[in-house]
Amino acid sequence: MNGQLKVPTMAEYMAEGKQPEILFWVGSAGSYDDRAKKITKAFVKLLNNANVDFAVLGAEENNTGDVAKRAGNEFLFQMQAFMNIEVLNAYEVKRIVTCDPHSFNCLKNEYPSLGGNYDVIHHTQFIKELIDVGRLSVKGDTYKGKRITFHDPCYLGRANSEFDSPRTVLGKSNATLVEMKKSKNFAMCCGAGGAQMFKDAEPGNKEVNVLRTEQALETTPDIIATGCPYCNTMMTDGIKAKEKEESVTVLDVAEVIANSL
């Protein structure tokens, strides 16, 4: 990552006979996608700033199997899940934080039946927690006067009923938060969920991410905030399709707060 960012591994902690406060589950996008890596770095910056004792699995982290499950390959999902559960349980992991709502939902709701029981939280929930207890201080002048609209990730919002944490955190930036007509329980998908990110729209239909971007642009935002690396990609592509790159930026909640320290 970055020479200035401290990112220890669980193996290093075990070698010292210690347990971190949290395990940061990076996820496939946060590990390999160049744009999503910036979200990973922004969150690590927040963890370092708040002096959070955390670790990552590093090379021992496998895909959660979410995409395989959504695409209908239950066998591959369980194979990937059991591999991860074996590693997590060996390290006696108790609390997991991730920037990826797909990993969040999978680890939280689908791993327990396979033997993986953990306290799983989304990074916006953890950032709120850090702010609430005074471990993270946000200046709130970087985005003052800017208009931000938040796009609810399906697996954070409608699937897990978490709508408040990302909005509360974004409010610390002192930006003006503007809601889309379809938000929270009624929010429209970005078009990436259920492995749909890897296919084109049906003939004659407009791409879902373009439709969702149009809904976001109705709020005349300076920034479209997301809480998911896949939503970030889809909304960014939507902005490009609408030729709005010069006037609207897509940022993860972690990036907004990291820029506000």
Number of domains the chain contains: 2
Distance of CA 95 to the CA centre of its chain: 16
pLDDT in the model for residue 1: 44
Which residues are within 8 A (CB) of 70 and not within 5 positions of it... i.e. 6 or more apart?
193, 194, 195
Domain housing 235: 137-258
Using one digit for the tens of pLDDT, what is the confidence trace for 162-199? Answer: 999 999 999 999 999 999 999 999 999 998 876 666 66
Tell me which of 87, 111, 130 is where a domain ends.
Answer: 130
Q: Are strands 223-226 and 95-98 parallel, antiparallel or unpaired?
A: unpaired
Contact 60, 91 (CB under 8 A): no
| β strands within the chain, DSSP E | 22-25, 54-55, 95-98, 119-122, 147-150, 176-177, 223-226, 249-252
In a domain, 44, yes or no: yes
**Is it the case that residue 201 has pLDDT exceeding 70?**
no
CA separation for the pair 49, 122 (Å, rounded): 18
Tell me which of 103, 130, 157 is where a domain ends.
Answer: 130
pLDDT in the model for residue 2: 46
CA separation for the pair 252, 236 (Å, rounded): 11
pLDDT in the model for residue 203: 75
pTM of the prediction?
0.94
